[in-house]
Amino acid sequence: MSLVNFTTREITCKIVYYGPGRSGKTSNLHYIYGRVPEARRGRMVSLATQTDRTLFFDFLPIDLGSISGFTTRFQLYTVPGQVYYNATRRLVLQGADGVVFVADSQGRQLDENLESLQNLHANLLDQGVDVRAMPLVLQYNKQDLPKELILTPAEMDDALNFRAVPGFSADALHGTGVFESLKGISELVLKKLAQGAPA
Amino acid sequence: MTAALNPKFSFDSYVVGAANRLAVTAGRTVAENPGSAYNPLFIYSGSGLGKTHLLMAIGHAAKKVAPGLSVEYLTLDEYVEAFHAAIAAGQGDTFRRRFQSVDMLLVDDVQFLTNRKEMQSELLRLTEGLQAAGHQVVLASDRPPAEIADLDERLISRFSGGLVVDMGIPDYETRVAILRKKAEERATSFQSGVLETVANVEFANVRELMGALNRLIAFQAVNDAPITEAAARQVLGLAPPADNSAEPTATPAPAPDEFSNFLSDVTATVGRAVEAWRARVSEAILRWEGEGFRTKRLEALLAQETPGAVDQVISGFVKDVERLKVLAAEVQMLDPQAAGDSVFRDPERLDEAEKVAVRVREGAAPPPAPSAAFPFDTFAEGPSNEKELAVIREVTTTPGKKYNPLVLVGASGLGKTHLLNAIGLELAGKARAVVACLSTQAFIDEVIAAIEGDRVDWWRARYRRVTALLLDDVHLLAGKDRTQEELFNLFNVLQDKDRQLVFTCPAAPNTLEGLEERIQSRLAGGLVVTLVEPDRVVRRAVLERTLGKVEASLLDYLADRPATSIRAMMAEVQRVKDVADAQSQPLTAGLARVVLEGEVAPRRRTSGFRTSGIVVSSAGGVRSREKMVWDWPVPADRMIEDLR
């Protein structure tokens, strides 16, 4: 997708929240939805089961208004985390400008985190996207859980952050680290713009 | 004559902030490596922002590094005044020499060059000389070179050729630092917050800031009590601070929500990203302005809200600038005066620059070329000249390197002109060669025409671009003082550039009368090749070439005859040919012998056809006009007459 359109003076960023099932991707979007003034947000499209599991994807458009003469929009997507929805994940991932990988900090979820991260790399590779060039941040969610259940952000970094990308400690349900992660990915995406390469 | 460096103005007392850091760093570098780092260094800033201080600090620092260094600081007005005084006293040359020997020249207030054409040329010459000698030049002005009105483009280019740096208004932190330093220098202390109050005021320059400090120091001294922050405000006529500390606000301002924070962060990031093109444009403007080019097209880009096709505009601009550079360099060679035209610095006027270049090109006819009638291979070689020709061939192989100048000496008719043109043709065959080959008389005529047409600069440029200069009969310069001077200067320029010089003259250069000694010595300083009488081999070769297919005995006979020169030999050949033509006889050795050894004097009939001495009478019979018979030169006619 075209990140910056100088003719129509528009900036559009597509940011995808990726991660294993139940890691808190939709929680991120819900929290953001709750903080964005009504006038600024579009309708949040969420296709979920009755047990609140994302079946298809969440979509939250945010209009940041005119920035430096450019109409700036962020489109936030989540992917279904379950392994068997890979086709949907690939579809959502298409044309992404940046990815927030939401990892579940519970120690027992480490394998799922790794598997999902590998799945992200594989899907990007399939789409011919250089993984190293894709703006990516890691969010270590559920850091509010009892210490004995979770890995610390440093341990999560050791386990998942092979590329030394920005990592954020988070509690998406209560909002800790949600906007920090969004800001982190926005900066990376926009930095690519400053370098003159459309993301 | 020049102002001494004020000891107070050193780097130690110079407060460095974001606004002047680059200029100070450049200044320090120049002081530590005069002549090699940035030369010239051009510093500009608004009034009162520390240019003079910085200039003098550079001078002090340079002297500290090398105490023997001769450093001159002066303002442009002082320079102008000194120059006028020197000219009035007839000491112009002494004045120039004095400044040419300075190791570091610091000139302040260069903006006053506006409308001073004469001083501009003087300063141009001076900076060129100093730079060429590796001496440092530092200039200060209140505006960049390109904005100094009516400044010669060459001067703009020269000033911009080193490093152009500006100094802005100091920021708050720098203002506090300056105030603290100055208060310390004045051994005055203030209550905390007083100097910060002064620093909060955005004075237009440091001088005004110092004025405010002076008022506070005076106030404190008079009242004999420390001045308070409020009193300081009153003294400086500042409005009281906004009432934000008197009572704490009942309810603190609500913390901005997370989305607002995010939005403002993203706004800043987008701003930086989107505005990256502005940075690129500004960078390009700085660069090309620094090189002395007008940047109107790029400045117009900055006025746009969105970048449009920034990169295309910049690359188009760069392309135009490169073309201007090429044109300017070409015109500089052909007509240095025209090269100073502002069109060569303005990419918006590229079309005009092209037209100027065309005009200059049309006016710059190439200097006379060697004649194609004298190729080298038709110059006959023999024992009498083979060594000389070998040397000459070396000159044509490595022009300007080995024997420069080459002077061909010899009597008239020995082939000097032929050889000169032959050398010229050989040199002209080389890549990008521009060979001037002409008679000295033509050279003199050109100088006169150039003086008459007020185009001496153009004429000089025309000859200075030649790759070889060949002058025939250089002795004709005798008594032509102006032409000798021009040749002297041209000689030096060309020789410095390893361009080949070849001259011919009838006698050794140092024996030529009427030639200035400096020219004689320069000619004699090269290789003088003396041409002697042609030997038999040479003579025979010339005869063969001239006469074509004739009997060998004729060639041998003619070649065997002694000749002082080829021209003398050819005169004899011409005599024989005339007789042969007159008598309709073939050229033979016998005829030549008869003609040249006096058996038959060559006679020419005055009319174009032979008339018979026989007259046919209308009454019949033939009557001879016998009286005329023996005058008839043709034996056949005489025989007819005898038989009758």
Q: Tell me the pLDDT tens digit for each residue of A41-76.
A: 887 776 655 555 556 678 888 888 777 667 888 999
A197 pLDDT higher than 60? no
Q: Is residue A122 very low, low, confident or very high in pLDDT (cuts 50, 70, 90)? A: very high
Q: What is the spatial distance between Cα A23 and Cα A83, in angstroms, rounded to a whole number?
A: 13
B14 pLDDT higher than 50? yes
pLDDT value for B16: 79
B-chain residue closest to A186, CA distance: B266
Question: Using the beta-carbon criterion (under 8 Å), do B276 and A196 form an inter-chain contact?
Answer: yes
A-chain residue closest to B279, CA distance: A194
ipTM above 0.85, yes or no: no
pLDDT value for B505: 93
Cβ contacts of residue B640 below 8 Å, gap of 6+? B614
Answer whether A156's CB lies under 8 Å from A109's CB.
no
Question: Using the beta-carbon criterion (under 8 Å), do A6 and B306 form an inter-chain contact?
Answer: yes
Q: Is residue B607 very low, low, confident or very high in pLDDT (cuts 50, 70, 90)? A: very low
Question: Using the beta-carbon criterion (under 8 Å), do A186 and B266 form an inter-chain contact?
Answer: yes
Question: Using the beta-carbon criterion (under 8 Å), do A9 and B306 form an inter-chain contact?
Answer: yes
- Between B50-59, B69-78, B164-173, the lowest mean confidence (pLDDT) is in B164-173
| Of the partner residues A9, A70, A194, the one whose CB lies closest to the CB of residue B272 | A194
A179 pLDDT higher than 90? yes
B626 pLDDT higher than 60? no
pLDDT value for B639: 54
Q: Is residue B616 very low, low, confident or very high in pLDDT (cuts 50, 70, 90)? A: very low
B581 pLDDT higher than 80? yes
- Between B240-254, B425-439, B541-555, the lowest mean confidence (pLDDT) is in B240-254
Q: What is the spatial distance between Cα B270 and Cα B78, in angstroms, rounded to a whole number?
A: 52
Contacts of B267 in chain A (CB under 8 A): 64, 67-68
Distance from the Cα of B267 to chain A's closest Cα (Å) equals 6
Nearest to B9 by CA among B68, B70, B50, B66: B50
B608 pLDDT higher than 70? no
Model confidence pLDDT, tens digit, residues B16-27? 777 787 788 888
Mean pLDDT, rounded, of chain A? 86
pLDDT value for B305: 63
Answer whether A108's CB lies under 8 Å from A137's CB.
no
B619 pLDDT higher than 80? no
Contacts of A191 in chain B (CB under 8 A): 269, 273
Does residue B574 sit in helix, strand or coil? helix
Question: Using the beta-carbon criterion (under 8 Å), do B308 and A175 form an inter-chain contact?
Answer: no
Q: Which of A78-82, A166-170, B551-555, B559-563 has the highest mean pLDDT?
A: A166-170
Contacts of A178 in chain B (CB under 8 A): 258
Hey, which bits of B473-588 come out as E strands? 500-505, 527-530
Nearest to A144 by CA among A26, A15, A41, A27: A27
The percentage of chain B sitting over the pLDDT mark of 90, rounded to a whole number, equals 14
Contacts of A72 in chain B (CB under 8 A): 266, 270
Contacts of A179 in chain B (CB under 8 A): 258-259, 261-262
Q: What is the spatial distance between Cα B438 and Cα B397, in angstroms, rounded to a whole number?
A: 21
Does residue B105 sit in helix, strand or coil? strand
Answer whether A77's CB lies under 8 Å from A58's CB.
yes
Give the CA count within 13 Å in the CB-facing half-sphere of B66. 15
Question: Using the beta-carbon criterion (under 8 Å), do B274 and A68 form an inter-chain contact?
Answer: yes
| Of the partner residues B271, B276, B306, the one whose CB lies closest to the CB of residue A67 | B271
Question: Using the beta-carbon criterion (under 8 Å), do A64 and B308 form an inter-chain contact?
Answer: no
Beta-ladder partners of B75: B108
pLDDT value for B217: 77
Identify the contact set of chain A against chain B, taking CB-CB distances under 8 A.
Answer: 4, 6, 9, 11, 32, 35-37, 40, 64-65, 67-70, 72, 175, 178-179, 182-183, 186-187, 190-191, 193-194, 196
Nearest to B122 by CA among B89, B144, B100, B146: B100
B-chain residue closest to A193, CA distance: B273
pLDDT value for B485: 87
Total length of chain A: 199
Question: Using the beta-carbon criterion (under 8 Å), do A37 and B259 form an inter-chain contact?
Answer: yes
Q: Is residue B204 very low, low, confident or very high in pLDDT (cuts 50, 70, 90)? A: confident
pLDDT value for B614: 39
Q: What average pLDDT does range A71-100 have in this prediction? A: 88
Q: What average pLDDT does range B140-166 have in this prediction? A: 83
Model confidence pLDDT, tens digit, residues B352-390? 999 888 888 776 667 888 988 888 888 888 888 888 888
B319 pLDDT higher than 90? yes
Mean pLDDT, rounded, of chain B? 80
Question: Using the beta-carbon criterion (under 8 Å), do A187 and B269 form an inter-chain contact?
Answer: yes
pLDDT value for B378: 86
Question: Using the beta-carbon criterion (under 8 Å), do B262 and A187 form an inter-chain contact?
Answer: no
Q: In what order do the strands lie in the sheet with B527-530?
A: B435-439, B468-472, B500-505, B406-409, B527-530
Q: Which one has a higher pLDDT value, B603 or B408?
A: B408
Nearest to B71 by CA among B61, B86, B82: B61
Model confidence pLDDT, tens digit, residues A143-169? 999 999 999 999 999 999 988 999 999
Query: What is the helix (H) or strand (E) element at residue B446, kind and residue range?
Result: helix B440-452
B69 pLDDT higher than 70? yes
Look at strands A98-104 and A136-141 and give their pairing.
parallel
B566 pLDDT higher than 90? no
B-chain residue closest to A180, CA distance: B262
What is the identity of the amino acid at B414? L
Question: Using the beta-carbon criterion (under 8 Å), do B263 and A64 form an inter-chain contact?
Answer: yes
The percentage of chain B sitting over the pLDDT mark of 70, rounded to a whole number, equals 87
* pTM listed for this prediction: 0.38
